[in-house]
Amino acid sequence: MKTDVHLARTERLEMAGLVAGQIAHDFNNLLTPLLAYPDLIRNEVKQNAVVNEYLSIIEKTATEMQHLTLKLLTLARRNRVSRAVFDISDVIGEVVQALQAGLPQGIAVKCDLVVTPCNIAGSRSQIHAALENLCQNALDAMGTSGSLFIKSENVYLDTPFGEYQTVTRGAYVKISVRDTGAGIPEDIREKIFDPFFTTKRATKRRGSGLGLSIVHGIIKDHLGYVDFESTLGKGSTFFMYLPVAKDFAKEQMTSPLPMESERVPVVVDDSPPSEKPIAPRILIADDEQMIRKLFGMILMFEFPEAVIDQVSDGEQAVAAFSKSCHDLIIMDLQMPGQDGRESFFEIRKICTDRNWRLPPIVFCTGFTPAESLADIIKDGLVNCLLRKPIKAELLLEAVRKRLPK
């Protein structure tokens, strides 16, 4: 019976993650113009114009919405998990330091950290987010007074155990986050990790009900487990069990996604000067007309001499490149029909067959499963990945670095 409950819960969380990821993708497409157009408008108005204040309000609101979509993406667990080894006690210190600034006077934070290293392998930033969400959940449970206890230890489990999740035997770094709040009522304990479930509607905090779901997703991605215990009137304790890091030096590690700030080698152009057009030619492939138009306006403002072609799907992108041999391609990864990944491989084949230079490609995505990028990343020829929403300057920076001089 317990196994059936765990299975149903897991399936429910997986489905919620898929839905959250698709919502985040659509939101990020809609947010791109809200973050990019203000820069274009500023170029058309005086520096002291009142409209600049309005533009700042639009940007601030869009940025807050962007933070919410990041939570949804984390819930969907579509962010690639790096495999760096680090001591989680250091992360606990960072989280506590960040919490101290906004704590009510009646809240005390106490730590009991093991002296020996608590090394795990994974994403430092995501574990930081998981701990931060657990601590924030504990603080919300206590209100304006109480104590928050955080403990780290290395443990070895001989036999599986656990109430919420069954933790298998093995060596773990165990993190405990305990509060002195009111505790969790029995009738809602099966729901507390469900996305958007919250008992704190009155706070109206954006993203309420996502905290514990995000914790669950992050720990699962790190092959760990979450468990908790609670007593009404005495508080709750949440446990994170993360596998102790092995020696990863000899293992084949998966490279993280190359982002816009990273330098990636570009294939050298050996074509004769006579074959290169005088003006650079750029191809934009995105199924959203609004984004194609926006990117085109941004590029024309910065590169007025450029020839800019626009297509709405992957098949059109391949056909356009086959005809014009573009110097640079800006391509959405998730498009109906043939997506950006498939188009990349077809474009690469055209370049191989015709002895053309493979152009730099700026991939854009609002939500793309990491596994769909594995071949492209392994190939090493993707120049960068920009995550929507994309501000004008970020797009221009990526293009400037990669557009042939």
- Cα–Cα distance, 57 to 79 (Å, whole number): 29
Neighbours of 64 (CB within 10 A): 11
Please tell me the total count of domains within the chain. 3
- Cα–Cα distance, 363 to 258 (Å, whole number): 10
CA distances from 147 to 103, 133, 143, 240, 305 (A): 11, 16, 10, 19, 63
Percent with pLDDT over 70 in the chain: 73
Q: Judge whether 252 lies within some domain.
A: no
Highest mean pLDDT among 34-43, 103-112, 248-257: 103-112
Q: CATH code at 203?
A: 3.30.565.10
Q: Where among 25, 41, 76 does a domain terminate?
A: 76
Domain limits for position 281: 273-402
Q: Where among 243, 264, 290 does a domain terminate?
A: 243
Q: What is the mean pLDDT of residues 234-258?
A: 67
294 and 216, same domain (yes or no)? no
| pLDDT at position 75 | 62
User: What are the DSSP calls for 212-269, one per residue?
Assistant: HHHHHHHHHHTT-EEEEEEETTTEEEEEEEEEBP---TTS-PPPPPPBTTS-------
218 and 237, same domain (yes or no)? yes
Q: Judge whether 260 lies within some domain.
A: no
| pLDDT at position 389 | 84
Q: Judge whether 268 lies within some domain.
A: no
| pLDDT at position 74 | 65
**In this predicted model, what pLDDT tens digit does every residue of 81-111 receive, in sequence order?**
567 899 999 999 999 988 887 788 899 999 9
20 and 131, same domain (yes or no)? no
User: Which of 242, 299, 238, 237 minimizes the C-alpha distance to 81?
Assistant: 242
Q: CATH code at 292?
A: 3.40.50.2300
The more confident residue out of 318 and 215 is 318
| pLDDT at position 270 | 43
| pLDDT at position 321 | 97
| pLDDT at position 236 | 93
Q: Judge whether 248 lies within some domain.
A: no
Q: What is the mean pLDDT of residues 16-42?
A: 74
β-strand partners of 351: none
- Cα–Cα distance, 80 to 71 (Å, whole number): 14
Q: Judge whether 13 lies within some domain.
A: yes
Token pair recorded at residue 315: 């098949």
44 and 177, same domain (yes or no)? no
pLDDT bin (cut points 50, 70, 90) of residue 387 is: confident
317 and 359, same domain (yes or no)? yes
Percent with pLDDT over 90 in the chain: 33
- Cα–Cα distance, 340 to 365 (Å, whole number): 10
Are the C-beta atoms of residues 159 and 283 closer than 8 Å to each other? no
Q: What is the mean pLDDT of residues 189-194?
A: 77
**In this predicted model, what pLDDT tens digit does every residue of 355-385 receive, in sequence order?**
999 999 999 887 655 555 656 655 544 568 8
6 and 98, same domain (yes or no)? no
Q: What is the mean pLDDT of residues 114-123?
A: 89
The more confident residue out of 380 and 310 is 310
334 and 293, same domain (yes or no)? yes
Are the C-beta atoms of residues 228 and 237 closer than 8 Å to each other? yes
- Cα–Cα distance, 306 to 242 (Å, whole number): 51
| pLDDT at position 235 | 93
Q: CATH code at 8?
A: 1.10.287
CA distances from 226 to 84, 134, 217, 219, 377 (A): 21, 11, 10, 7, 31
| pLDDT at position 50 | 84
Which residue spans within 2-118 are E strands per DSSP? 84-87, 106-113
The length of the chain is 405
pLDDT bin (cut points 50, 70, 90) of residue 19 is: low
322 and 391, same domain (yes or no)? yes
β-strand partners of 241: 174, 225
Neighbours of 310 (CB within 10 A): 19
pLDDT bin (cut points 50, 70, 90) of residue 254 is: very low
pLDDT bin (cut points 50, 70, 90) of residue 217 is: confident
Query: If you average pLDDT over every residue of the chain, what do you get?
Result: 79
Q: C-alpha 376: how far from its chain's center?
A: 18
Angle between helices 124-142 and 88-100 (to 10 degrees): 40
| pLDDT at position 264 | 34
Can you give the pTM of this predicted structure? Answer: 0.53
- Cα–Cα distance, 269 to 289 (Å, whole number): 32
